[in-house]
Structure 1
Amino acid sequence: MNIQEQFDQAVARSKTLSEKPGNDVLLQLYSLYKQATEGDVNIDPPSNMFDFVAKAKYNAWESLKGKTKESAMMDYVELVQKLK
C-alpha cells in the first residue's frame, strides 16, 4: 500500500477514534493534514488577534513549513496509529 492510501485510511480512522484527543494532538493532526494536502501555509495569518483558535491552527501549520507532503503524510499516519 502506498503512502497516499495509508494517509487516506488514517484520515478515515481519525474520524472514528474511541475518544477525542486533547487540543495539542488535534492541532498536530490539523497541521499535518494541511501540510500533507496543501503544502506550506498559503493563507494570511488571522486578522482578529482574539481568535485564538484560528491563530493556534495557523501557527501549527506554519511550524511545518518546508516539510514535504510525503513526510507529513507519514507523520499523520504514525500519529493516528498511536491514537487507536
Structure 2
Amino acid sequence: MSLNEQFQKVSEQVRNWKTKPSDNENLALYSLFKQATTGDVNIGAPSATNLVASAKFKAWTGRKGMSQDDAKKQYIEMAEKLHSKYA
C-alpha cells in the first residue's frame, strides 16, 4: 500500500472514531493533516478573539517546512497510537 493510500485509509478511520481525542491530540492530528494535504500555511492568521481558529492556525504554522510525506508518516504513526484509545 502506498503512503498516500495508507494516509487516506487512516484519516478516514480517524474521522470515524467513537470518541474525540483530547484538545492537544486533536490539534496535533489537525496540524499534521493540514501539512500533509496542503503544505505550509497558505492563509492569513485569524482574529485573536477566535480562540479555536487561532489554536488551529498556530498548530499548523508550527509544522512549517515539514514535507508533506513526513507529515503523512507522522499523522499515520500518531493515529495508530491513538486508535485503541478512541476507536
TM-score of the superposed pair, with normalisation by structure 2: 0.91
The alignment status of 1:75 with 2:66, answered yes or no, reads no
Hey, what's the Cα distance between the residues in 1 that align with 2:81 and 2:18? Answer: 12
What letter corresponds to residue 68 of structure 1 in structure 2? S
Unpaired stretches in structure 1, ≥5 consecutive residues: none
Displaced runs of 4 or more, over 6 A:
none
Cα RMSD (Å): 0.8
Q: Which runs of 5+ in 2 are unaligned?
A: none
Kept in 2, the 8 Å contact 1:17–1:83? The answer is no
TM-score (norm 1): 0.94
**What is the aligned-residue identity percentage?**
41
Offset of residue 19 of structure 1: 2.1
Q: Which residue of 2 aligns with 1:4?
A: 4
